[in-house]
Structure 1
Amino acid sequence: MTEADARHLLWRWPDDDGLEGWIAEQPWEATPSGWTVTGELQGWQFRIEAVPGGLQIRADQLGTPPAVWVITG
């Protein structure tokens, strides 16, 4: 999956809080397994990986367990 495809999938994802859209708008840096979002949101840092059928998003914040979810499309 290309970065453009990943951003498009995030934009299309129906979310109530706008988080996926926020992630899509941020600058990303390529990693061997996907991308990291260069900005933070209220102390959370985000990593994105392509998985079969979609994207896995991992959110990390110091002192809390990571949040991990998959969006498909």
Structure 2
Amino acid sequence: MTEADARALLRDCDGFCGLEVWIAGRQCQAVSGGWIVTGELQGWRLRIEVTVAGLWITISASGGAPAVWLVTE
């Protein structure tokens, strides 16, 4: 999946109160298996990983357990 495909999938998602749309509009840094969203959202860090089923989104803050969810077509 290309970055453009991932952004389109996130933009079209109707998930966590628009969080996926917000992610789609942010700059990302390519890493092995996906992207890291640059900057933070109120102290939270986001990572996007490509899977066969779609995109795994991981959001985490230091000292806390991460939240992980799958965005599919």
Verify same fold: TM over 0.5.
Answer: yes
- The count of corresponding residues between Structure 1 and Structure 2 is 73
The aligned residue for residue 58 of structure 1 is 58
Deviations 1:25-71 (A, max 9, x none): 00000001110000111110000011112100001101110010001
User: What is the distance in 2 between the residues matched to 1:66 and 1:7?
Assistant: 22
Kindly state the Cα deviation for residue 16 of structure 1 after the two structures are TM-superposed. Answer: 5.1
Any residues of structure 2 matched to 1:1-73 within 5 Å, and which? Answer: 1-15=1-15, 17-73=17-73
Kindly state the Cα deviation for residue 18 of structure 1 after the two structures are TM-superposed. Answer: 1.0
Which consecutive aligned stretches of 4+ in structure 1 deviate over 2 angstroms post-superposition?
Answer: none
What is the CA RMSD across the aligned residues, in angstroms? 0.9
User: What is the distance in 2 between the residues matched to 1:17 and 1:43?
Assistant: 18
Unaligned ranges ≥5, structure 2: none
User: What is the distance in 1 between the residues matched to 2:68 and 2:7?
Assistant: 18
Q: Given residue 40 of structure 1, which amino acid in structure 2 is its aligned partner?
A: E
Identical columns (%): 52
